[in-house]
Amino acid sequence: MTQLNNGITLFFSLLVEAMPFLLLGVIFSSVLLLFVDEQKLLAIMPKNVVLAALAGSLIGFLFPVCECGNIPVARRLLTKGAPTAVAIGFLLAAPTVNPVVFWATWIAFRDQPEIVFLRVGFSLTVAVTIALIFSAQADIRPFLQDNLTRMMGEPDPAVAVSTEPEVSPLLKSGTFLMQAPGQVLQLDAPPAQVLAQVAVAPPPMGQRLRMMVDNMVLELRELGAVLVIGSAIAAFVQVAIPREVILSLGQGPVTSIVAMMALAWVVSICSTVDSFFALSFASTFTSGALLAFLVFGPMIDLKNISLLLTVFKGRAIIYLFVLAAQLTFLLTLVMNLYTG
Amino acid sequence: MARRRSRRSRNQRLARVQPLDRLALAVMAGLALAMGLLILSGDHATARVRDFTWQDRQVGTEDRAFLITFSRPMDVASVEKNLTLDPPLPGKVSWAGRRMAYTLTDPLPYGESFTLSLDEARDRYSARRDRPSRFEPFQAQFQTRRRAFLYIGAEGDEANRLVLADLDRQERTILTPKNLSLLAFQPYPLGDKVLFSASDSSQEGGLLNQQIYTVTTGITPRPPIDFMGDRPPLWQRLLPQGAPPPSGETTLVLDNRNYQNLKFDLSPDGETIVVQRVNQQDPSDFGPWLVRAGKPPAPIETEPGGDFLIAPDSQSLLLLQGEGTAIIDLGGEPASGPRQPLDFLPNYGRVLDLKADGSAAAMVNFNQDDPEKRFTESLFLVTNQGREEELLQVSGAILEARFDPTRQVIYVLASELVDAPLDNDTLQTADAYVEQPLLLAITLADGEVSPLLRLPLQQNIHLSVAPDGRSLLLDLTNQAADTESNQGPKIWYLPLVYQPPDSNSDSGSDRRLGDDSVAANSADADAAETDSVDRDTADVADASDASAATPTVVDPKTFPFSGIQATWLP
């Protein structure tokens, strides 16, 4: 019975903590959808892949969202046609590389300022590396969920030849708009999204604001439901595997990193507050292990895997997860073994 | 048809192996290999001391513990075994992960330099696996503050000027200029400045033109970083510290335009000054004013009062009002109207001193309500828990009382009425009395009064307890006209020894008693630091060592110079 109580407490605390940030992310996403012209957005994106990855990682300074809020924004970036490197860089780095998290970490680790800077540095390194790996794929759509690829509109002609759509959208049920041969638009998609793709001239301001609210409600309903499921799973796992068990994995230079990464994955704590959570371990764990927690936690955790599933297919999530874990482990292990 | 479908599904399967799949799997394999190699290469880190809170700092009695932070979790036993302090300072070790706290059990002696060294230690990982470990030997110095006091000179060049006497360096420095004639002073908490009131002989008006100034002592305080409080911003820590100001730089704090300054008090944190002022045109415009850095002085809107004292928290003022003492909040500005007292203690006509942790006050009850005690005065200990305890009742007067900052002792100057000594030159009535001043020490735990000294008659006496509790300063001024006796006011230095009690209860167990006192003192220290600890439990702990801490004066000396108001620098 106490376990049920604990589980419910954990569930609600995760939900309460994440919901405002998801709302913030949805607001940013809706603003991006209706107020940012994709042509202009694409024009300012660097053409160089490395620069694009870096730029994506630094967008977090404009959209201070945590790991639940960044997913709607990353999804919007993808549908707006931003380079994969930008979207992946944003997805992995934005929860850490943003002013709110930087400030919170600074407050928590004032007497260990290197933690603050290494957190940002390691997060950027991991995010840019993974973004580069993902940009090896010229057309990311095979790794995205089908409903997202449908929203992405017309692919580049060169790419479109190589990847034939698996099933014609017309073979599904629904209402469609044939714009040109081969260009099909599903009309049951949210009106705002349809409009954003169809309309050439932007609608008047008042109408746009109303559509923004519509879109926000829609995205929040979709992602909020997923967040509830994710939080429930995270709460269940935390009750099934108590934190003490994870922490008892080890305190050695290697095992402490594994323990803290596992802890970060399971507790699914929001990146804006995780530094205070980590602070309670500051005296018992090495700086490397703390950094592993602070770098890996915001990238991938149990709770936001469910949200990631609304964007990526399972295979891509496994790549994201394994690569992020390996890179974090490697960087922090070097720190533990060589600097102490 | 079937063949077409199977070919299509094969195409699909082929199409599924994307460039990303290949690259991601290759990178993952590469990273796994690198991880394996790194783990096999072993541990190359050297454990070291990251931070020592007292390194190259000047500490005082208010600093009771230091922290050492290591770069990784350490083997506790190896650190405790190898840590040395020279000269030794007894203390207790406690650990919180990578941090070690050392809480001193005895008060720090002033004017000394200490060396902390840790030549070898093991980190926890190597200790557990019994492998050799690397440790960077650590050594650091820290000092306690100087043993120095201030006084207002009485003779020659020093007359009416503020003088700093440094006992460690055996030197005296005149701080204030010749034209300022000092009336009162109070050192700032770190001893770098002194607040004083003086009349300027180059101005007209004599005593009426008292103004309030600060003067630098030439001491650069280097207090340890307060690990409980907020850290100074990074830029402040990185910026090089400017050269210390030379001694004797006088700054005017409060002038005497329109108002006459009567008495002042400096808050223990050095941020707030309260001055009793009276309007030169309108004597009914009379009361305490609040002076804070960067703000114009403003009167405290309250009922008029008399003597006052700022409480140790620096946030409230104890002000004599009518027949009692009001406690007035000095915090934010009141919305409107006069400040209402936070509390009122009706019986006590005078507050003599407050404990530095604010837990208790020494107050005087003039015993006006009790006909049997009429014409006597009582010294009361009033705790913040509401306990009121009579420590002393005298037939004369209670002149001064000072808490020992390090121990559960209060030093009291009081007088008893005694038969006047026979004087051949004058005629006396049959029942002539004089007030015999006495210096007493009262242990707070059991209220035991031990007389220390009988002092000469007819003197103005001022008492100051050294911040490390190891000595007292007394200065005596003959009230009989100075002109007759060519003797100037004398400053006495009274070293204190805390004697173990008469050992009839436990003979040959000095060591154990010493340990007892250690435990009790630290219990008190804990109570002072974490206000939440119930005072009563600390008091119980104190009771065990009460007898162990009875001070006695040994070998009093007088200084070859004379002055008044001798006061230790904090």
Amino acid letter, A8: I
CB-based contact, B17 to chain A, within 8 Å: no
CB-CB under 8 Å, B38 with A333: yes
* Among the partner residues A137, A143, A283, nearest to B96 by beta-carbon distance: A283
Q: What is the pLDDT of residue B141?
A: 92
Give the span between the Cα atoms of B422 and B424, in whole angstroms. Answer: 6
Query: B381, B370, B539, B372: which is closest to B449 by C-alpha?
Result: B381
Count Cβ atoms below 10 Å from residue A240 Cβ, excluding itself.
Answer: 11
Give the span between the Cα atoms of A133 and B402, in whole angstroms. Answer: 74
Q: What is the pLDDT of residue B540?
A: 36
Q: What is the pLDDT of residue B140?
A: 92
Residues 6+ apart with CB under 8 A from A72: A22, A25, A26, A28, A29, A219, A223
Rounded to 10 degrees, the C-alpha dihedral B65/B70/B74/B77 comes to -30
Q: What is the pLDDT of residue B309?
A: 85
Q: What is the pLDDT of residue A322?
A: 94
Q: How many CB pairs under 8 A join A and B?
A: 89
Apex A330 CA angle, A326 and A334, nearest 5: 170
Give the span between the Cα atoms of B169 and B159, in whole angstroms. Answer: 22
Rounded to 10 degrees, the C-alpha dihedral B440/B443/B448/B451 comes to -20
* Among the partner residues B23, B51, B71, nearest to A136 by beta-carbon distance: B23
Average pLDDT over residues B142-156: 88
Q: What is the pLDDT of residue A163?
A: 39
CB-based contact, A336 to chain B, within 8 Å: yes
Q: Is the pLDDT of residue B332 over 90?
A: no
Query: B92, B56, B357, B93: which is closest to B220 by C-alpha?
Result: B56
Q: What is the pLDDT of residue B34?
A: 93
- Please check whether residue A134 is in contact with residue B20, taking contact to mean a CB–CB distance below 8 angstroms: yes
| Tally of helices (H runs) and strands (E runs) in chain A | 17, 2
B388-424, pLDDT tens digit by residue? Answer: 888 888 888 888 889 888 888 899 988 888 877 766 6
Top residue of B27, B40, B128 to mutate, by most chain A CBs within 10 Å, is B27
Give the span between the Cα atoms of A333 and A288, in whole angstroms. Answer: 7
B369-395, pLDDT tens digit by residue? Answer: 777 777 888 888 888 887 888 888 888
Q: Across all residues in chain B, what is the average pLDDT?
A: 77
3-state DSSP of B238-257: HCCCCCCCCCCCEEEEECCC
Give the span between the Cα atoms of A312 and A320, in whole angstroms. Answer: 10
Q: Where does residue B145 rank: exposed (0-12), middle (13-18), buried (19+ CB within 10 A)?
A: buried
- Residues of B within 8 A of A136 (CB-CB) are 19-20, 23
What distance lies between CA B92 and its chain's CA centroid?
21
Domain ranges across chain A: 2-339
Q: What is the pLDDT of residue A121?
A: 94
- Under the banding of pLDDT at 50, 70 and 90, the label for residue B518 is very low
**Which two structure tokens, joined as six digits, stand for B358?**
């604010």
Look-up of token digits 């006796």: B485
Query: A231, A251, A234, A216: which is closest to A336 by C-alpha?
Result: A251
- Residue B495 C-alpha, separation from nearest chain A C-alpha, in angstroms: 41
CB-based contact, B497 to chain A, within 8 Å: no
B334-372, pLDDT tens digit by residue? Answer: 555 566 677 777 777 788 888 888 888 888 888 877 777
CB-based contact, B55 to chain A, within 8 Å: no
* Among the partner residues B35, B69, B234, nearest to A333 by beta-carbon distance: B35
CB-based contact, A326 to chain B, within 8 Å: yes
Rounded to 10 degrees, the C-alpha dihedral A323/A324/A328/A331 comes to 50
Query: In angstroms, what is the C-alpha Rg of chain B?
Result: 32
- Please check whether residue B463 is in contact with residue B472, taking contact to mean a CB–CB distance below 8 angstroms: yes
CB-CB under 8 Å, A338 with B48: no
Chain B residue at shortest CA distance from A284: B97
Give the span between the Cα atoms of B38 and B54, in whole angstroms. Answer: 38
The DSSP letter of residue B189 is T
| Whether ipTM exceeds 0.90 | no
**Higher per-residue pLDDT: B557 or B94:** B94
CB-CB under 8 Å, B28 with A323: yes
Q: What is the pLDDT of residue B93?
A: 92
**Higher per-residue pLDDT: A176 or B132:** B132
- Residue B242 C-alpha, separation from nearest chain A C-alpha, in angstroms: 24
B4-35, pLDDT tens digit by residue? Answer: 555 555 555 545 678 888 898 999 999 999 99
B279-293, pLDDT tens digit by residue? Answer: 888 888 888 888 888
Q: What percent of chain B has pLDDT over 90?
A: 6
- Residue A228 C-alpha, separation from nearest chain B C-alpha, in angstroms: 31
Q: Is the pLDDT of residue B47 over 60?
A: yes
* Among the partner residues B47, B73, B123, nearest to A284 by beta-carbon distance: B73
* Among the partner residues A316, A326, A337, nearest to B31 by beta-carbon distance: A326
Apex A305 CA angle, A300 and A310, nearest 5: 130
Top residue of A137, A287, A312 to mutate, by most chain B CBs within 10 Å, is A137
Give the span between the Cα atoms of A301 and A261, in whole angstroms. Answer: 10
Beta bridge partner(s), residue B67: B101
Q: What is the pLDDT of residue A126?
A: 94
From first to last of its 340 residues, chain A has per-residue pLDDT tens of 788 888 898 888 888 888 888 888 888 878 877 777 767 777 787 888 888 888 888 887 877 777 777 888 888 888 888 888 888 998 999 888 888 888 888 888 877 888 999 999 999 999 999 999 998 887 888 888 888 887 775 544 443 333 344 455 555 555 666 665 555 555 555 555 655 555 455 667 788 888 888 888 888 888 888 888 888 888 888 888 777 777 777 777 888 899 889 888 888 887 877 888 888 787 778 888 899 999 998 888 888 888 888 889 888 999 999 999 999 999 999 988 887 6
pTM: 0.69
Q: Is beta strand B316-321 parallel, antiparallel or unpaired with respect to B324-329?
A: antiparallel
CB-CB under 8 Å, B125 with A330: no
Average pLDDT over residues B502-522: 35
Query: In angstroms, what is the C-alpha Rg of chain A?
Result: 21
Q: What is the pLDDT of residue B103?
A: 92
CB-based contact, A334 to chain B, within 8 Å: yes
Sheet of B449-454, strand order: B398-403, B409-419, B433-443, B449-454
Q: H or E segment at A15? A: helix A2-35
Sheet of B308-310, strand order: B308-310, B316-321, B324-329, B343-345
CB-CB under 8 Å, B41 with A253: no
- Residues of A within 8 A of B130 (CB-CB) are none
